[in-house]
Chains A and B, each alone.
Chain A
Amino acid sequence: MSAPKPTVRAVATRAGVAPSTASLILRGEGKFAHDTVARVRDSARDLGYGLDGRPPWPLAPGSTNIAGVVAYTPIHGTFRDAHSQDVIRGLHRTLAANSVALMLLPPIHNHRFDDVFAAMPLDVVFLLTTAYDTSSVRKAAHERGLAVAHLESGGPDAPPPMVRVDDIPPMADVARHLLGLGHRTIASITMRYSTVPRFGLVPPSPYEEIENPITRGRLEGLVVGGLAPTYVYEVAHSAAAEAAEAVKVLMRLDPIPTAIVCQSDTLAEGAISGLRELGLSVPQDVSVTGYDATLIPSLAPHVLTSVHQDGVVKGELLARIGLAMRAGENPPPATLPTFFLAGTTTGPAPATT
């Protein structure tokens, strides 16, 4: 004999609420205290209400405990670039501690993005990168009344980041450090200027005109420190292979740069491997700096001269902001501390002949 099908009334009785309340909660409607919602759901689950392949209650925002994340590009970079991975890790950890699961959304430009975005009612959306024009996602989220917490956002009308990283002071320190070592001709390998991926030597235009705030701030810092780069090489992704290609171009220029300032550790790693391929030593022939101060296995025992920013803390700060927004609050932006760290990949500028 099979057990009778559980009813809404049974679920309500077990949860100690009125049947009408249980009915609303199971349909994902109405506004109820979190613990009431949880009690009704637990009761439904215990009784096996509605569980035969079909969710017992519809998915509505505010009920899924899922945060959507527009991650870095390419998506594997999110896990392979040490800093990006730390950000995701911090984000995930803080969300998990608050019983919110993290979902990586497909790349914005993928034609299925909207479908996935719609199929998964999310509680909150996190935008991590300046590499995409996120205006359409911001608009779609706004229409659905979804909180959007952005670490970085790309596009012409992108709002300022909610976790601020002041790149200028530590990059000014990088410039002063190199100046002190006698460097006068430096090249910078930078992130994208805008959401349009480009790759190659770019005229050193005034930094004010650069759309991407990360690229802009890190170049501006060098100028503030008194060492404007002679050459600027823009890459499409913070990928080691792109920087390895870049140094092959940069080291053919005249005057030859004696130092290469990279806008990420991953780029610096690629630059150093490219220099090694050219038979050049770091820092005897060329000094190299990075940004993020992550541990780069291939460089051991070298330690990269870099700017420290703690990705895990960054992710945690962002998660707290997103969680507060999800709760209907209007949290102020946070600031992530950064500082310059001298390593062993910078040395005195080689004497010019």
Chain B
Amino acid sequence: MSVNHREDARKERPTLEVVARRAYVAKSTASRALRGDPRIAADTRKRVAEVALELGYDPLVEAPRSGIAGIVSASGMDDSFADPFQMDIVSGIAEGLSALGMGVLFVPPAGTAGHDDVVSRIPLDVCFLLHGFSTYSSTRASLQRRGVPVLVLEAEPDDPAPSVRTNERQAFRDLMDIVIGVGHRRAAVVSLPLSHHRVNRGFVTLTDLGGVDVVPARERLEVMEESGLERAEVFETTRSLEDEGELAAAAFLALPELPTLIVCHSDLLAVGVVTALTHAGVRIPEDVSVTGFDGLDIPLLAPLVLASVTQDGYEKGRLLADQARRLLTGQPPAPGELYLTARAGNSVGPPRPKPAAVVTQ
């Protein structure tokens, strides 16, 4: 029977208790010895370490942990479920953690009682902050006050929390160089939320990027500046979903003249923009070029393939989970690196010529 089978498997697994017995010490002593506690005599520490090594004892498995990892996105996981790229990240994290025998708790969105409840009292070994948390968010502060280590998906460059390093800036720069290469000099932007401190949807005036504190949004705006593309209108969205892109497109359609290029901060925003523009009879890329970010496979747009930056969300999630493993086993952080590439697609073409003077015949 499978139940017995599982029991047997457990007997074979070396526990701290077995290590302690074999090393002729108390369990608490064995635990201290393995952590290198100086109160334990050096030769005892050595003996315990040897026994542990011999038995293949994995301290991670036995660490006094709840085995629960939190995963939280500021806007709530329901939005994440609507985004295939985020789902890939979540699946990578869940897969990595389940290999460690951990449970994954989807923390309710910030601002709800459930959120505060989890953050303040549920025994978490580690918590993943996916989107929309500034370095100084109260969620993060509460977790850290309780000693729950956090892993941050979109970390500031100087953030000490473990994250995943990518060549995101370079890949986005490559994408910008592609659009410049076909003749674009000016781009309108459909941006991710720009600030953790307010929610805004609509055109914004950005004289500089000082107030932009959401990492991916700021980086993408900075890289566009560095590439030499002139920044035209910027439409800020409240979240990275198709309907926000559609609203942005409606705003562009109401302008006296459509931009020739719309740089979107995510593929889902770009899908919304393309859908709404196409619906209005605008041709992509003949009339307007559109770029995205994430590199999703989007069947609804076929045969149109978005110019975008492709990244492997699943791999990103696995790398984050691996960071958690290092953290929980007391190993020094060694950020995983993820390689992103620019994809030309077919949603970018030369800028449309200036409309010729209307000739009436």
How many chain B residues sit at the interface, stated as a range, is 35 or more
**Is residue A165 within 8 Å, beta carbon to beta carbon, of the partner chain?**
no
B120 partner residues in chain A, CB cutoff 8 A: 45, 51, 55
Are A92 and B106 in touch, CB under 8 angstroms? Answer: yes
Cβ contact within 8 Å between B81 and A113: no
**Residues in chain B near residue A112, CB distance under 8 A:** 61, 67, 100-102
A64 at the interface (CB under 8 A from B): yes
Binds B, one of A15-23, A70-78, A246-254, A258-266: A70-78
Provide the bound-state CA to CA distance between A92 and B76, in Å.
11
Chain B residues lying within 8 Å of A64, measured Cβ to Cβ, are 122
Residues of B within 8 Å of A298, CB to CB, are 297
Tell me the smallest distance from the CB of B251 to a CB of chain A, in Å: 28
Which residues, 50 to 97 on B, are CB-close (under 8 Å) to A? 61, 65-68, 76-78, 81, 87-88, 90-92, 94-95, 97
Q: Given A45-B120, A65-B114, A301-B302, is A76 in contact with B91 using a C-beta cutoff of 8 Å?
A: yes
Q: Is A320 an interface residue (CB 8 A)?
A: no
Given A74-B95, A111-B13, A92 and B78 touching (CB < 8 A)? yes
Chain A residues, Cβ within 8 Å of B299: 295-297, 299-300
Smallest distance from the beta carbon of A62 to chain B beta carbons, Å?
14
Fill in one digit per residue for B278-307: 1 if any A CB lies within 8 Å of its CB, else 0. 000000000000000000011110110000
Check A106/B101 contact, CB under 8 A, given A56-B121, A66-B122. Answer: yes
Question: In the complex, A1 Cα to B95 Cα: how many Å?
Answer: 49
Minimum CB–CB distance from A226 to chain B (whole Å) comes to: 33
Question: Least Cβ distance of A253 to chain B in Å?
Answer: 32
The answer to whether B94 touches A76, judged by C-beta atoms less than 8 angstroms apart, is: yes
Query: Is B359 part of the contact surface with A, judged by Cβ < 8 Å?
Result: no
* B146 is an interface residue with CB less than 8 A from chain A: yes
| CB atoms of B108 and A99 under 8 A apart | yes
* A80 located at the interface, meaning its Cβ lies under 8 Å from any Cβ of chain B in the complex: yes
- Say whether A96 contacts B121, CB under 8 Å: no
Please state if B114 and A120 are interface contacts (CB–CB under 8 Å): no
Chain B residues with Cβ below 8 Å from A184 are none
**Given A56-B121, A111-B13, A112-B102, A133 contacting B66 (CB threshold 8 A):** no
- Assess whether A120 is in contact with B76, with CB atoms less than 8 Å apart: no
Which residues from A are CB-within-8-Å of B76?
A: 96
A104 in contact with B2 (CB, 8 Å): no
Q: Which residues of A contact B103 (CB under 8 A)?
A: 68, 103-106, 116, 120
Most chain A CB neighbours (cut-off 10 Å) among B10, B67, B78, B90: B67
State whether B147 touches A75 (Cβ < 8 A): no
* B248 lies within 8 A of chain A by Cβ: no
B81/A92 in contact, CB under 8 A: yes
Do B9 and A111 touch (CB < 8 A)? yes
Q: Which of A93, A104, A133 contacts B94 (CB 8 A)?
A: A104
Chain A residues with CB under 8 A of B335: none
Q: Which of A53, A85, A103, A111 contacts B104, CB < 8 Å?
A: A103
With both beta carbons as reference points, the residue of chain B lying nearest to A119 in the complex is identified as: B66
A105-B103, A111-B101 known; A85 vs B81 contact (CB < 8 Å):
yes
* A78 engages B68 (CB within 8 Å): no
A112-B61, A116-B103, A120-B103 given; A133·B2 CB < 8 A: yes
B116 nearest in chain A by CB position: A45
Interface residues of B in 111-170 (CB under 8 A from A): 112-114, 116-118, 120-123, 145-147
Q: Using known A-B contacts A92-B77, A119-B68, determine if residue A65 contacts B2 with beta carbons closer than 8 Å.
A: no
Query: B314 at interface (Cβ–Cβ under 8 A)?
Result: yes
Judged by a CB distance under 8 angstroms, whether A286 is at the interface is no
* Complex Cα gap A102–B80 (Å): 14
Tell me if B6 counts as interface (CB < 8 A to partner A): yes
Chain A CB within 8 A of B41 CB: no
Q: Are B67 and A78 in contact (CB under 8 A)?
A: no
Q: How far is the CA of A78 from the CA of B146 in the complex (A)?
A: 31
- Chain A contacts with B in 84-122, Cβ cutoff 8 A: 85, 88-89, 92-93, 96, 99-107, 109-113, 115-116, 119-120
Task: From the candidates A96, A116, A296, name the one contacting B78 in the complex (CB within 8 A).
Answer: A96
* A147 to B113 CA separation, bound complex (whole angstroms): 23
CB-CB under 8 A from A301, the residues of chain B are 302-303
Whether B3 sits at the interface, judged by CB under 8 Å, is yes
Whether, in the assembled complex, A199 has its beta carbon less than 8 Å from a beta carbon of chain B, the answer is no
B101 close to A109 (CB less than 8 A): no
Contacts of A102 in B (CB 8 A): 105-106
Q: Which residue of B lies closest to A53 (CB)?
A: B146
Asked whether, in the complex, the Cβ of A55 is within 8 Å of the Cβ of B98, the reply is: no
Residue of A nearest to B12 (CB): A111
Shortest beta-carbon distance from A93 to chain B in Å: 6
Contacts of B117 in A (CB 8 A): 41, 65
In the assembled complex, the Cα of A74 lies from the Cα of B105 at a distance in Å of 18
In chain B, residues 1-37, which have Cβ atoms closer than 8 Å to a Cβ of chain A? 2-3, 6, 9-10, 13
**Per-position contact with B for A35-51: 1 when CB-CB < 8 Å, else 0?**
00010011001000001
Inter-chain CA distance A136–B67, complex, in Å, is: 19
B107 in the interface (beta carbon within 8 A): yes
Taking CB atoms, residues of chain B closer than 8 Å to A66 are 105, 118, 122
| Residues in chain B near residue A89, CB distance under 8 A | 78, 81
Find the B residue at minimum CB distance from A312.
B81
Contact of A76 among B6, B95, B112, B145 (CB under 8 A): B95
| Cα separation A45 to B116 with both chains bound (whole Å) | 9
A79 interface residue (CB < 8 Å to B): yes
Could you name 25 residue pairs across A and B whose Cβ atoms are closer than 8 Å? A41-B117, A45-B120, A53-B145, A55-B120, A66-B105, A76-B91, A80-B88, A80-B314, A85-B81, A92-B77, A99-B108, A99-B114, A101-B118, A104-B94, A104-B106, A110-B101, A111-B61, A116-B68, A116-B103, A119-B67, A120-B67, A120-B105, A135-B2, A195-B2, A295-B299
Taking A65-B117, A101-B105, A115-B101 as known contacts, 6 extra A-B pairs with beta carbons closer than 8 A to each other, sorted by chain A number, are A57-B121, A68-B103, A89-B78, A93-B81, A120-B67, A133-B2
Query: Interface on A for B, CB 8 Å cutoff?
Result: 38, 41-42, 45, 51, 53, 55-57, 59, 64-66, 68, 74-76, 78-80, 85, 88-89, 92-93, 96, 99-107, 109-113, 115-116, 119-120, 133, 135-136, 155, 195, 295-301
